Structure 1
Amino acid sequence: MAETFSLLPLSAAHYPAVATIYAEGIATGQATLNTEVPDWEAWDTAHLAHSRLVACTPAGEVAGWAALTPVSGRCVYSGVAEVSVYVGASHRGRGVGLLLLRKLVQQSEQNGIWTLQSGIIRENTPSLRLHEQAGFRLVGIREKLGRLHDQWRDICLLERRSTVL
């Protein structure tokens, strides 16, 4: 059950495990249109400094991670961020994703984020369900938004407005 996992701030020391989990997501062909895992410096630069989490087992194994990226550099969008949440293959279906996503929502609001958004490949139904359980709603579907391995992919756009900001 999810209650056996501890949530910790994601740090550089966690990145080898984070990168492995991200690579597992890439391998599914459903989690991202990206095909390569960035190094720590690129990942760190791309993500907001706050609201970075890892879920760890009692033995200290990283089971999943979540983080935010800004959607724009324009100050009017400073309270809007895009969600990334990934769960290691051996920990999927155990509540880790929902635990991470709920805490990410909480931390984002504590840091002035009023809207979270997520772009999910249409076939990734587990991720769509996860986001809906965390209060996200489907805004629309962008057809043939990106290509992965020479195949067009549709992206479902989901968002969650803060209930406290």
Structure 2
Amino acid sequence: MQIISMEPRHWPAVKSIYESGIATGNATFQTAAPEWEEWDQSHAEIGRLVAVDGDQVMGWAALTPVSGRCVYAGVGEVSVYVAASARGKGIGRTLLEELIAVSEKHGYWTLQAGIFPENSASIKLHEACGFRTVGFREKIGKMDGTWRDTVLMECRSKEIGI
């Protein structure tokens, strides 16, 4: 397996993995994956990664800016998704560790993640990569008419902003 930069040619597989995560009901508030153009515009240009085994995309990770304000230029929200058939093999951890390294090379001092409390595997993954829980966002959004909570986690760089 290799971690490489995501390219537009990877989008069909990335979108499929994203849709699989959406279908679990515990990965995101999104109800459908966007088309490439929309996804491309909403994510940071750096930190778009895919885990590949040959030509097969096993997972992906990306950064989304948390704000357009310049004071938050070094703060990004992380997304990490692994294909159902590839879970439990360390791919998520490898992707997240590489995403952290890439973000620091580009001046990010804080990464954050909003995770449904029911998604214990994702919480454990983020903790293993240095994230800590900084809050609990009660009834932050509705999903299928039901209020959902999220755990707010962050990872502060040990290199940037110290």
Q: Is the TM value for this pair above 0.5?
A: yes
* Aligned-residue offset at 1:148: 1.0
Counterpart in the other structure of 2:78: 83
Counterpart in the other structure of 1:35: 31
Aligned mate of 2:159, from 152, 161, 164: 164
Within-5 A mapping of 1:69-148: 69-148=64-143
* Aligned-residue offset at 1:127: 0.3
* Aligned-residue offset at 1:149: 1.1
Residue 48 of structure 1 pairs with residue 48 of structure 2: no
Give the TM-score normalised by structure 2.
0.98
Q: Give CA-to-partner distance per residue, 1:124-161, whole Å, 9 cap, x none.
A: 00000000000000001001111111111110000000
Q: Distance in 1 between matches of 2:61 and 2:118?
A: 20
Q: Distance in 2 between matches of 1:114 and 1:158?
A: 14
Q: Distance in 2 between matches of 1:86 and 1:123?
A: 16
- Identity between Structure 1 and Structure 2 (%): 54
Counterpart in the other structure of 1:60: 55
Q: Give CA-to-partner distance per residue, 1:16-38, whole Å, 9 cap, x none.
A: 00000000000000000110100
Give the TM-score normalised by structure 1.
0.96
Residue 155 of structure 1 pairs with residue 150 of structure 2: yes
Unaligned segments of structure 1, at least 5 residues: none
**Which segments of structure 1 move beyond 3 Å, counting only runs of 4 or more?**
none
Unaligned segments of structure 2, at least 5 residues: none
